[in-house]
Amino acid sequence: MSLEKSILEFNDTIKVLRSENGCPWDREQTHGSLRACIMEEAAELQAAIRIYENTGDYENMKEELGDLLLQVVMQSCIAEEEGLFTLEDVVSTVQEKMIRRHPHVFGDVQVADSGEVLKNWDEIKRQEKEKYSRTISPLREIPNELPSLTRMSKVLKKVNRIYQETKSEADSLTEIKESMEQIRCLLAEKKEIDQSNIEKSFTQVLLEVSNIAMKRKVHLEQLLNDRIEDLIEEYESDSQKRVVNEGNVDK
């Protein structure tokens, strides 16, 4: 079956589910009610990619990509019912965007490296947003639905680029050292800890670590997630070993 036919049939399937004789749950869904589903499916796809990278098993990744596609098609069907746009409009829009934002591939623009590609991308994106009737500040364009560490990195990157406010890695390291010393002093106090002060110090540490990570193109959110998985694996592996050893002792 061709890709075009597969997509059209899938779109028709979702429309049936949304129809009067379809599924009650699917008929009840709105753009807003599906927001949580979108976040969950994106997270599950990330997990599937990690599994593939660790094991070579791609079946779960294929399934999760399908689940994420389901969200795109469902949202498009709801929008079509509302007279806003169709799935075809969605595909056409992103197709046009990819061609427009890659003039070095589909046009005659010359680039030396990926750095120039990203620079051109940002400029084209800026020009596109100037056409919008609504006005959003450059920093407010970054969705607050993003995980905090990811959002922080994007905000810092834009602050550096737009406002020319950049803090060196050395300055950030100094701030981290000072904040950690404040935390040490707070924890060492005999009296009850001032929660607001210790939170302020931790926040400053996270900010400065994010600044260094942003400059070094380190994805903190992904690193932390990967470390959490490693930690779970370490503890569960040790726990299983202990159970086996205790069983051997009993024998």
Q: Is residue 108 part of a domain?
A: yes
Q: Is residue 201 part of a domain?
A: no
pLDDT tens for residues 93-137? 999 999 999 999 999 999 999 989 988 998 898 888 877 656 578
Q: Is residue 234 part of a domain?
A: no
23-49: average pLDDT: 93
- Verify that 58 and 116 share a domain, yes or no: no
- Verify that 78 and 58 share a domain, yes or no: yes
Comparing 36 with 129, the larger pLDDT belongs to 36
Output the domain CATH number for residue 1.
1.10.287.1080
- Verify that 76 and 108 share a domain, yes or no: no
- Verify that 75 and 5 share a domain, yes or no: yes
pTM summary value: 0.72
Mean pLDDT (the chain, rounded): 90
- Verify that 48 and 117 share a domain, yes or no: no
The domain containing residue 112 runs over which residues?
101-135
Q: Is residue 55 part of a domain?
A: yes
| Non-local CB neighbours of 154 within 8 Å, separated by 6+ positions | 142, 146
Q: Is residue 90 part of a domain?
A: yes
How many Cβ atoms from other residues are within 10 Å of residue 208's Cβ? Answer: 21
Q: Is residue 109 part of a domain?
A: yes
Q: Is residue 251 part of a domain?
A: no
How many domains does the structure of the chain reveal? 2
Buried b (16+ CB within 10 A) or exposed e, 30-43: eeeebeebbeebee
pLDDT tens for residues 71-99? 999 999 999 999 999 999 999 999 999 99
- Verify that 94 and 35 share a domain, yes or no: yes
**Which alpha helices (DSSP H) does the chain contain, by range?**
3-18, 24-28, 35-55, 59-81, 87-100, 103-106, 114-129, 148-163, 169-188, 195-215, 220-250
- Verify that 28 and 113 share a domain, yes or no: no
In the listed set 79, 100, 121, which residue is the last one of a domain according to the structure?
A: 100
Q: Is residue 32 part of a domain?
A: yes
